[in-house]
Amino acid sequence: MKITRIVAYQVDLPLKEGRYAWSGGKAVDVFDSTVVAVETDSGITGYGEVCPLGPFYLPAYAAGARAGIVELGPQLIGCDPRELGQLNDRMDRCLRGHAYVKSAVDMACWDILGKVAGLPVCQLLGGRFGEDVLLYRAISQRSPAEMAENVRQYRDEGYRRFQLKVGGDPDEDIERIRAAAGVLQPGDRLVADANTGWTRHEAVRVVNAVRDIDVYIEQPCLSYEECLSVRRLTPHPFVLDESIDGLQPLLRGHTDLAMDVVNIKISKFGGLTHARQARDLCVSLGIAMTLEDSWGGDIVTAAIAHLAHSTPEPLRFTSTDFNSYVTVANATGAPQREGGRFSASGEPGLGVTPTDAVLANPVLEVA
């Protein structure tokens, strides 16, 4: 089987809440997502998606995802999409870095492999652990009272895991954490995600001020070293996200006991192949995980569900359903949240079909 053509489609994903805001005044109103179709000489087509969290979160931006396909795509024509190891080796040799560019291509090739095998991707990734997967809800940065009210509303919808977007003014962040914690019930989990937004002294003030609260602290500062120093000063469970973008930082974090939970985003690692490698390493090392991506629509949500559902439950801290945040569906067949949980499709591949509206609007092709 050979790859004959790669087509990319641009899809706008407006937010149901109108805006998603996080540390340092960063915000997005409409996400710019890229759907990638990998076509083969057997007539099977696989689909992937990549959607950076704006241009200022990770070193990734939406137009870059498409420019990268123009650069990388010609090197992949003629490759066998079922041989994921070879494919990733070729991608890494042809284009250094730019993990997010490779993510949608790799995802689409897993879709092809599943369709050829007649098996859902979660089965190819290790099998289905448990009935379904517990989801978190990200609470966009607003005033403490508004964020507490949003936690209450999403709790009513069934969520039991909440990720508060802090990383703003430390005094207000302390209020945000206290207000949100006040509406939780036993068994719920609260994560304060600063998304690199605090300096070290600010982070130390916040963690000291919320010492009496059952809250996880996520990526307080920009650098790994700053985060590690804060980690060593707080008794709170600690999550690393932006600092962990590959196996080397993951292994260093493990050696330093720098985190209790690590956030595995598919595109941050360069696709399902590398995300699975990191996931399996975390399983072996006993590190719990949030399994997700930077952002996305239905296709990314489907891929997240396959990765998360194939992860052993004790180490599956949480996951997320981005398709419920946005007003546009870019595919059918993706998991739909039920009571704060979702499950991976049982259909072959990712189990998704892009909508006609998406497929009517290709923005580039490589053949």
- Chain contacts with Mg ion (rule: CB under 5 A): 193, 241
Alpha helices, DSSP H, located in 77-195: 84-94, 99-117, 121-124, 144-156, 170-181
Q: Which residues contact 225 (CB under 8 A, 6 or more apart)?
A: none
The nearest distance, CB 48 to Mg ion, in angstroms, is 22
H/E segment holding residue 209: helix 200-209
**CB–CB of 329/310 below 8 Å?**
no
Query: Residue 308 is encoded by which pair of tokens?
Result: 């998360």
Q: How far lies 134's CA from each of 244, 292, 347, in Å?
A: 22, 12, 21
**Annotation says 102 is catalytic:** no
Query: Among residues 23 and 40, whose Cβ is nearest to Mg ion?
Result: 23
The nearest distance, CB 242 to Mg ion, in angstroms, is 7
Q: How far lies 162's CA from each of 34, 116, 143, 193, in Å?
A: 27, 38, 16, 10
Pick the catalytic residue from 102, 115, 265, 268: 265
The nearest distance, CB 293 to Mg ion, in angstroms, is 11
d(CA 254, CA 251): 5
**CB–CB of 302/335 below 8 Å?**
yes
Query: Among residues 193 and 202, whose Cβ is nearest to Mg ion?
Result: 193
Pick the catalytic residue from 26, 102, 115, 165: 165
For 327, other C-beta atoms within 10 Å of its C-beta total 11
**Annotation says 165 is catalytic:** yes
For 186, other C-beta atoms within 10 Å of its C-beta total 5
Strand partners, 35: 9, 49
The nearest distance, CB 195 to Mg ion, in angstroms, is 6
Reference 68, options 28, 32, 108, 95; nearest CA is 95
d(CA 109, CA 316): 25
d(CA 164, CA 171): 15
The nearest distance, CB 71 to Mg ion, in angstroms, is 29
Residue nearest to Mg ion (CB): 241
The nearest distance, CB 240 to Mg ion, in angstroms, is 9
Query: Among residues 237 and 349, whose Cβ is nearest to Mg ion?
Result: 237
DSSP state of 25: G
Active site residues: 165, 265
